[in-house]
Amino acid sequence: MTKIHAAITGVGGYVPDYILTNQELETMVETNDEWITTRTGIKERRILKGEGLGTSYMGAKAVEELLRKTNTDPKEVDLIIVATVTPDMPFPATANLVADQVGAVNAFSYDISAACSGFLYALTTGAKFVESGTHKKVIVVGGDKMSSIINYKDRATCIIFGDGCGAVMLEPTTEEVGLMDSILRSDGSGAQFLKMPAGGSRIPASYASVEANLHYAQQEGATVFKFAVTNMAEVSAEIMQRNNLTSNDVAWLVAHQANKRIIDATANRMGVTDDKVMMNIEKYGNTTAGTIPLLLWDYEKKLKKGDNLIMAAFGGGFTWGAIYVKWAYTA
Ligand code: UT7
């Protein structure tokens, strides 16, 4: 029987207009442009302003663009998965809200929480519905409104994160393109190093939890850095090896944009040169589940049918992984 692959057939994206520069951060916390640029590669990030606007607002904008670009009637969409750690609210799922906002009335929809690896988890999960033959049009969204959980007095986190969302369409094909392989991992013992402690069932919201700043993302940067460098590079090398790919076969590394030094270390381990490394960290910072689809959004015009892409991520959980995608179209 011919194998059905799940091919990415389009990309949409959305970033808010407001630009938070390193210079503006210098007026908010004890930091400077030179430190941020050399330690992370970030120059600016986008911030979603406006009362009552959450992640679903950005997700819906990204999906609307995706539907336009792929000429898709929202009624044809079977499933929408949203990867995020900043849902509009604990429930209902942000995916339910996105589906409603874009008119995807025949889709079922749910969220996935895997922090910076969320898009890889969601893409792998969405692909299974397509590969099984049960679903024909699956939209995978990754994005976060990180500004909603960032303490702008904490220089360990506020210089890194930004807001934004990307979305891709998955459709079945019998050609040798699409999602070819995926390795996903997690280790909950890393939770202590990168987390938002309150607002869940363990520490529900209270005056005390707000007073203690427990509703903000907290990170032990240097520890996360160490685990990220090792694991992202390791899993990227592993997926190349088990698919018999050499660095010459890889057209693009599509790595989570957390820190330019982590991305460089991953590329180095894979033997991939700088010109094959997608990079937009300088303008968006770390948008958590948004980084990988926003890279695809920015680089779509450069991608050609048959290009081998290695996507890789590491983040809170800890979660990490790599996906091998053979690109399905020339834009
Ligand atoms: O996407 C989710 C996963 N997250 C990540 O992958 C992030 C991983 N971690 C990182 O990217 C880096 O650890 C950071 C960018 C967060 C921090 O960079 P670092 O090179 O690990 O710095 P550090 O925390 O070890 O601090 C080095 C120095 C310290 O000063 P001393 O003790 O050497 O005098 C800090 O106090 O830099 C100081 N520092 C800063 N200085 C200016 C820390 N943050 C800042 C800052 N501005 N924002």
What atom in ligand 1 is closest to the CA of residue 286? 1
How remote is the CA of residue 262 from the centroid of ligand 1, in Å? 13
Q: What is the pLDDT of residues 146-171, one digit of tens each?
A: 999 999 999 999 999 999 999 999 99
pLDDT band for position 76 (50/70/90)?
very high
How remote is the CA of residue 255 from the centroid of ligand 1, in Å? 20
How remote is the CA of residue 153 from the centroid of ligand 1, in Å? 15
pLDDT for position 251: 98
The active-site residue out of 135, 158, 256, 259 is: 256
- As a whole number, mean pLDDT of residues 309-323 equals 98
pLDDT band for position 26 (50/70/90)?
very high
pLDDT band for position 2 (50/70/90)?
confident
SS3 for the chain is CCCCEEEEEEEEEECCCEEEEHHHHHCCCCCCHHHHHHHHCCCEEEECCCCCCCHHHHHHHHHHHHHHHCCCCHHHCCEEEEECCCCCCCCCCHHHHHHHHHCCCCCEEEEECCHHHHHHHHHHHHHHHHHCCCCCCEEEEEEEEHHHHCCCCCCCCCCCECEEEEEEEEEEECCCCEEEEEEEEECHHHHHHEECCCCCCCCCCCHHHHHCCCCCCEECHHHHHHHHHHHHHHHHHHHHHHCCCCCCCCCEEEECCCCHHHHHHHHHHHCCCHHHECCCHHHHCECHHHHHHHHHHHHHHHCCCCCEEEEEEEECCCEEEEEEEECCCCC
Q: CA angle, 299 as apex, 296 and 300 as ends, to 5°?
A: 70
Does the structure show a pLDDT above 80 at 1? Answer: no
Percent of the chain with pLDDT over 90: 99
pLDDT band for position 247 (50/70/90)?
very high
How remote is the CA of residue 117 from the centroid of ligand 1, in Å? 21
- As a whole number, mean pLDDT of residues 68-92 equals 98
- Mean pLDDT score of the chain, rounded to an integer? 97
Q: Is 165 a catalytic residue?
A: no
Q: Which amino acid is at 292?
A: I
pLDDT band for position 73 (50/70/90)?
very high
Our answer on whether the CB atom of 224 is closer than 6 Å to any ligand 1 atom is yes
Q: Is 256 a catalytic residue?
A: yes
Question: Which residue among 144, 193, 224, 225 is best mutated to probe the pocket of ligand 1, counting the most ligand atoms within 8 A of its Cβ?
Answer: 225
- As a whole number, mean pLDDT of residues 228-236 equals 95
Our answer on whether the CB atom of 214 is closer than 6 Å to any ligand 1 atom is no
The active-site residue out of 96, 116, 158, 259 is: 116
**318 cis-preceded (ω within 30 degrees of 0):** yes
Our answer on whether the CB atom of 70 is closer than 6 Å to any ligand 1 atom is no
Inter-residue long-range contacts of 70-74, CB under 8 Å, 24+ positions, other chains counted? 70/9, 70/10, 70/169, 72/10, 72/137, 72/169, 74/102, 74/103, 74/104, 74/105
Our answer on whether the CB atom of 136 is closer than 6 Å to any ligand 1 atom is no
pLDDT for position 93: 98
Question: Which residue among 259, 281, 286 is best mutated to probe the pocket of ligand 1, counting the most ligand atoms within 8 A of its Cβ?
Answer: 259
- As a whole number, mean pLDDT of residues 27-53 equals 97
Q: Is 286 a catalytic residue?
A: yes
Q: What is the pLDDT of residues 88-138, one digit of tens each?
A: 999 999 999 999 999 999 999 999 999 999 999 999 999 999 999 999 999
Give all domains of the chain, ordered by start, each with its CATH number. 5-176 (3.40.47.10), 180-326 (3.40.47.10)
Q: Are strands 163-173 and 178-186 parallel, antiparallel or unpaired?
A: unpaired
Name the residue with tokens 């180095």.
268
Q: Which of 58, 1, 13, 77 is closest to 296 using CA atoms?
A: 13
- As a whole number, mean pLDDT of residues 250-277 equals 96
Our answer on whether the CB atom of 221 is closer than 6 Å to any ligand 1 atom is yes
Does the structure show a pLDDT above 90 at 177? Answer: yes
Whose alpha carbon is nearest atom 25 of ligand 1? 222
Q: Which of 165, 168, 175 is closest to 16 using CA atoms?
A: 165
Task: Tokens for 325, please give them.
Answer: 């995608």
